[in-house]
Amino acid sequence: MSHLTLLDTQLKSFQYLQKSLKRISQTFTSSDEKKNIESKQMDFLQGKLAKRVWGNLSVMLNWTPNGYNFVMDKEVFAANSNYNADILLENVTQNYAIEAIIGESTEIGFEPLSYKQNLDGSKTIILERICE
């Protein structure tokens, strides 16, 4: 029996979400049309679903006033893919945080110098700001 699971997130910025999905090499498409979501940004932000299909499995993102939600059948997803739904959400969230840190820091004058994936799975970002 299939049950959809709604996973709430605190992801609110389309720009950072899109970059985090690119960082983990996942392209989401509009559920209405099979077009890249970059060309459907306004529809996506107005609450339409976007989905990424792994084989015959789909994961959807839905905009709500509180942020984006992931919608998926976790049991079917886990049984039929190399991905664990919780790990997927963790990766998206971690990469979203990286993109938000870099983006917001750049707006106040910092420049990213380096980005490193550590052996323990953590990530290190080095930013620099030169004061004149």
Q: Tally Cβ neighbours within 10 Å of residue 108.
A: 7
Beta carbons of 23 and 117 less than 8 angstroms apart: no
Query: What mean pLDDT is predicted for residues 57-86?
Result: 73
Please give the model's pTM, rounded to 2 decimal places: 0.71
Angle formed by the axes of helices 14-23 and 85-107, to 10°? 120
pLDDT at 42 over 70: no
Chain centroid to Cα 53, Å, comes to 14
Tokens read off for 93: 């969230």
**Which of residues 72 and 52 earns the better pLDDT score?**
72
pLDDT at 39 over 90: no
